[in-house]
Structure 1
Amino acid sequence: MVTLLGPAEVRELAGRLGVRPTKTLGQNFVHDPNTVRRIVRAADLDPSDVVVEVGPGLGSLTLALLPEAAAVRAVEIDPTLAAALPGTVARHQPEHADRLRVIERDALKVRPDDFDVPPTALVANLPYNVAVPVVLHLLAILPGLRHGLVMVQKEVADRLTAGPGSKIYGVPSVKLAWYARARQAGRVPPGVFWPVPNVDSGLVAFTRRDPPAGAQRERVFAVIDAAFAQRRKTLRAALAGWAGGPDAAERLLRAAGVDPGARGESLPVEQFAAIAAAAGGAVPAGPTGRGRDRG
């Protein structure tokens, strides 16, 4: 039986390290062993997986991950927590200590060469304030990241997994869909954290997919940003500034097979890619209507 951290161990360890959770770093430490076991089960790890864990904190989730993966690379911005984590693992799981490496770095600034082995899975209790940019950044820089499971604020989980036509479908939904198929994998109550947040958390599972062909990611993301900057407007109006005027926007939309009177919240990522491809002079890849079936 793997030894995990309970409420008493979490508070004792934090007290010994002089750690006081801060809102600035989005620190809410999980202290419920059943919750971390649930997260690891939902992550569906293969024994060969190299896991990147962002914000390991005091090590609650890290201890549950180590027996299930070939290696864990823990990215921690707090120098005190980063320095303490190997010792915690050595005390509780000495047989798996060699699987851990701690990378003391801001996850938004981590680069591929920070990893001695390419990560294949992301499993993390992400700080609420940077959850979406961290997920998108890691998917962008780590092409070997095949799947993952992240715990985020429930509202963010809803947005990340929303589909076209939903009122909460927006920039995070579409950009994550560029990289992966995502789904909700459960709700987590506030009481399993210390300190207790004032919102529920949600689990988001994802599996990487091939991005839509026909346009570069940067171009597609620029279209997405423009379309949702004024989400109540039609695409003809919302993309006018980006395209060089409403008439130019209408020509591009029609070339991409998209209704100029539609709104961004109705389009799957494939149609955003088609718009970017039309703007770049490239031929959109296949009928844009397929996007509703693929993502």
Structure 2
Amino acid sequence: MARQTLGYLRTLFEREGIAPRKRYGQNFLIDLNLHDVIVAAGEVGPNDVVLEVGPGAGALTRRMADLGAAVIAVEIDPAMARLTRNAVEGRPNVRVLQRDALANKNRIAPEVLDAVRAGLAVDPVARRFKLVANLPYNVATPILTNLLVAEEPRVELMAVTIQWEVAERIVATPGTSAYGALSVLTNALASAEIVRKLPPSVFWPRPLVDSAIMVIRPDPARRTRLGDVVWFQSVIRRVFNHRRKNIRRVLHGYYRDMLTKSDIEDLLSQAELAPDARAETMTVDQLVGLAHRLKERLHAAPNWDGNSNSSEDSEDALDEKDDDE
């Protein structure tokens, strides 16, 4: 297969009568070295079951397959799925699924997860599940977060290209404008680093913003410390919906039917948090401690029903709203 240069892609697309579709966030890497950087960052090898979302013309897919990985390439665009199949023809270690990788913004499609499980079942001891992909911008955050929080199959490493702004949010620290629920959730469960910043010129068509190659490594010890991941996710979703309000006011607003103001002040004291602390300035450790204390206190409340969700919550788990009140 020819290297995926701009000239090669233009000729290929013209011959096939297709064009990149903005609707699906299709921006193809045309720098000849970057596929190698992504594969190296993903540490791809023969013991891996690799999920690739948005394989496009299949250059990265083929490279990972040639390294012996079992690749599950998920492509929503029928025309691109056809190109991917053509690129990996004759390679039995690649499965191409023509479908949306997401069932909705809060869930990976069951068919995709079933394909991963089938790959892992070949050798459940030796095989490792990874996400390695040039992710379409429009699905990057839900793909990353849904895989990160999933109980099974557990992803061991994610090496992806994403929008620079999303990468900045993931590695942001307390007190910065980029710090939010995505920063906290990721760093409560994993370590993350930006491998390289990518200018628009390395893609075709050129996006309007910079991108990044990022590596996220889920940490079993952090997950154990966190405990109930779904509960923690619901707590940070709520407090970052009102990131600039003091935490006492936020908690009272959400849990006034179960906890008194005195209860809330007491649990904040136990968590060693000032009542006027704000979510945007709290560390990951402080938020983990708050979630634990809050769950303990709610479980002791006489009218606690065990439901961590609320109709007040946004349907999009990590969409953040600023509230200056």
TM range (shorter): 0.7 to 0.9
**2:314 match:** none
Q: Structure 1 212/235 Cα, relative in aligned 2: closer, same or farther at 3 Å?
A: farther
**1:239 match:** 251
**1:16 match:** 15
Q: Residue 124 of structure 1 is aligned with which of 126, 130, 133?
A: 133
The 10-residue stretch of structure 1 (241-250 or 228-237) with the greater mean CA deviation from structure 2? 241-250
Partner-residue secondary structure (3-state), 2:3: coil
| Residues 1:273 and 2:288 aligned together | yes
What is the deviation of 1:227?
1.2
What is the deviation of 1:214?
5.8
Aligned 1:73-222 pairs, distance under 5 A: 73-90=72-89, 94=90, 97-109=91-103, 110-111=109-110, 112-115=113-116, 116-118=118-120, 120-141=129-150, 142-210=152-220, 211-213=223-225, 215-222=227-234
What is the deviation of 1:100?
0.9
**Matches of 2:253 and 2:15 in 1, distance apart?**
55
Partner-residue secondary structure (3-state), 2:182: helix
What is the deviation of 1:215?
4.4
- One-letter amino acid of the counterpart of residue 232, structure 1: R
Gaps of 5+ in 1: 284-295
**Matches of 1:143 and 1:174 in 2, distance apart?**
22
What is the deviation of 1:65?
2.0
What is the deviation of 1:23?
2.1
Q: Structure 1 212/262 Cα, relative in aligned 2: closer, same or farther at 3 Å?
A: farther
| Residues 1:227 and 2:239 aligned together | yes
Q: Identical aligned pairs, as a percentage?
A: 38
Gaps of 5+ in 2: 104-108, 121-127, 299-325
- One-letter amino acid of the counterpart of residue 31, structure 1: I
What is the deviation of 1:52?
0.7
Q: Structure 1 241/37 Cα, relative in aligned 2: closer, same or farther at 3 Å?
A: same
**Matches of 2:276 and 2:227 in 1, distance apart?**
23
**Matches of 1:171 and 1:24 in 2, distance apart?**
26
**Matches of 1:149 and 1:225 in 2, distance apart?**
25
What is the deviation of 1:282?
7.3
The 10-residue stretch of structure 1 (126-135 or 261-270) with the greater mean CA deviation from structure 2? 261-270
Root mean square deviation, CA, Å: 2.3
**Matches of 1:257 and 1:212 in 2, distance apart?**
22
**Matches of 1:49 and 1:214 in 2, distance apart?**
27
Q: Structure 1 105/254 Cα, relative in aligned 2: closer, same or farther at 3 Å?
A: farther
What is the deviation of 1:154?
0.8
- One-letter amino acid of the counterpart of residue 34, structure 1: N
Aligned length: 277
